[in-house]
Amino acid sequence: MTDQHPTEKFEQPPYPEQVQDVPGTTKQMDPQPDHGETTYKGSGKLAGKKAIITGGDSGIGRAVAIAFAREGADVLISYLNEDDDARDTAKLIEDAGRKAVLVSGDIREESHCQKIIDEAVAAFGKIDILVNNAAFQMSRKSLQEVSSEEWDRTFKTNIYPMFYLCKFAEKHMEPGSTVINTTSVNAYQPKSVLVAYAATKGAIQNFTVSMAQLWAEKGIRVNCVAPGPIWTPLIPSTFPPEEVSKFGENVPLKRAGQPAELAATYVLLAGNDSSYMTGATIQVTGGTPTI
């Protein structure tokens, strides 16, 4: 990426109004997100590492998968049912000369989380990096619009799998391994239209700190990343079209972030450069304050 004014680095709102079904797909988005396909350059920071990324088919997860592969890691992508997006991500991993493993299914199910770990160990022999990134949200103007089923789905997608996956992965992770959880700026500035989602993102930060303390003696570091408004399929599939068109305009940098702009943060937390960091949150918010 070339140096330039950060407000002008990528397209600014208004974006075209658009609607997708949940969970959304990359190819239907306008403008197309940038995951670092043509810009991310690796330098061997994760050479020989084996990684799991939930929600790795698109959005932030795809950008992280590209970066990890170009830094030398083999990657297992966990995703729900977005097969086309997952195959596109797998090709990008393989084009970097690394092994890609795809595992589809619902991470709300404890048994499926066990399957993810089992398939990673079968394919790689170990787990060095676990990225808990998959998430679900819906935008609702009234609490009465939030069904019990939706509330349940949000928590069971966003926080339960972190417990399941960490528990099943623990015996396969050696000292020096890392866990990276995706929280959100909503953990600091929760939005009234995202009551369930924001609550889970606060829970993720607390889970991260607790796990960092619990696993410190094991030498497993646990950190998280708090993105601001990032241009992913989750946005046109969960916000009204009029909100999509102005997504990100209220942050100081006046635009939505691109998935590629988070990749280096995950690489930092996955590698040895962050060896004295655990229980931390790195905010990538476009300037939205978190203090």
Handedness of CA 113, 114, 115, 121 (dihedral sign): positive
Is residue 40 part of the annotated active site? The answer reads no
Q: In this predicted structure, what is the pLDDT of residue 1?
A: 53
Whether the Cβ atoms of residue 30 and residue 24 lie closer than 8 Å to each other: no
Query: Does residue 139 fall inside a structural domain?
Result: yes
Q: In this predicted structure, what is the pLDDT of residue 217?
A: 97
Segments forming the whole domain that contains residue 84: 43-284
Q: Which two tokens stand for residue 39?
A: 């810009």
Structural domains counted in the chain: 1
Query: Does residue 90 fall inside a structural domain?
Result: yes
CATH number reported for the structural domain that contains residue 247 in this entry:
3.40.50.720
Query: Does residue 108 fall inside a structural domain?
Result: yes
Q: Could you read off the pLDDT tens digit of each residue along the chain, which spans 291 residues?
A: 568 899 999 999 999 999 999 989 999 999 999 999 999 999 999 999 999 999 999 999 999 999 999 999 999 999 999 999 999 999 999 999 999 999 999 999 999 999 999 999 999 999 999 999 999 999 999 999 999 999 999 999 999 999 999 999 999 999 999 999 999 999 999 999 999 999 999 999 999 999 999 999 999 999 999 999 999 999 999 999 999 999 999 999 999 999 999 999 999 999 999 999 999 999 999 999 998
Query: Does residue 290 fall inside a structural domain?
Result: no
Q: In this predicted structure, what is the pLDDT of residue 291?
A: 84
Query: Does residue 38 fall inside a structural domain?
Result: no
Q: Which of 40, 79, 197, 266 is catalytic?
A: 197
Assess whether the previous peptide bond of 229 is cis (omega < 30° from 0): no
Query: Does residue 3 fall inside a structural domain?
Result: no
Question: What pTM did the predictor assign?
Answer: 0.96
